[in-house]
Amino acid sequence: MSQKKILLLGANNPEVARIISCMDQDKRSQFAGYIDNAPQKKGQLFYGLPVLGGFEILPQLDPTEYKFVNLITRDCITRHQTTLSMSRFGFEMTNFIHPGLDTGMVTLGEGLYLQGAAILQAEVVLANNVSISAGAIVGHETHIGESSFLAPGVTVSGCVNIACGVFIGSGASIVPRVSIGDWSIIGAGSVITRDVSAGAVMVGNPARILRMQDIPEF
């Protein structure tokens, strides 16, 4: 059976093209193109790969011939929802990981989008659909839950438990051995010094609760 082609969900970030360019030729040839719901992008090339269309074209694609990775990181709810939508059409997730990233002694889920220059220390565990940007540091024995996102320059100390759907903004820092609850948001530059409740929006140094938001149901 031939290898499945890869659909890239979200044609927005040119860094994706640079990651692909770092791969060997066999891996580069696997990428079929982008799925993006912006109608003006359909039929265009995005850094050399075609934008095939939005979710409206998915019934025309055979899930036995394609798998996908979600590149959407603007918020974790959208990331999770769009991943669920692709899965409901029958498409399986796959990983999109910069080839220079050291993942030794790291437990990897499926559907990961991991950029270059991130550091994942020993015994880190990543659940499905996690995205980690360039320059983020994840300390030893940290667990990161499904559909969570770490922006550039985030520093997570060791033995931290990050639950599902957590958005951590650029340059935020988290001290060791704290827990971050489901669907919380850590603002850019914030410093987390204590446990964070599910649904909390945290800002500042040390971070304080700005507001609480409803926990989504899927």
Enzyme catalytic residues: 140
Closest CA to 82 of 56, 55, 110: 55
Longest CA–CA separation in the chain, Å: 54
d(CA 151, CA 56): 30
d(CA 130, CA 150): 8
d(CA 126, CA 59): 30
Report cis status (omega within 30 of 0) of the bond before 206: yes
Closest CA to 198 of 186, 182, 209: 182
Query: Could you count the other beta carbons within 10 Å of the beta carbon of residue 20?
Result: 20
- Joined tokens for residue 109: 């889920």
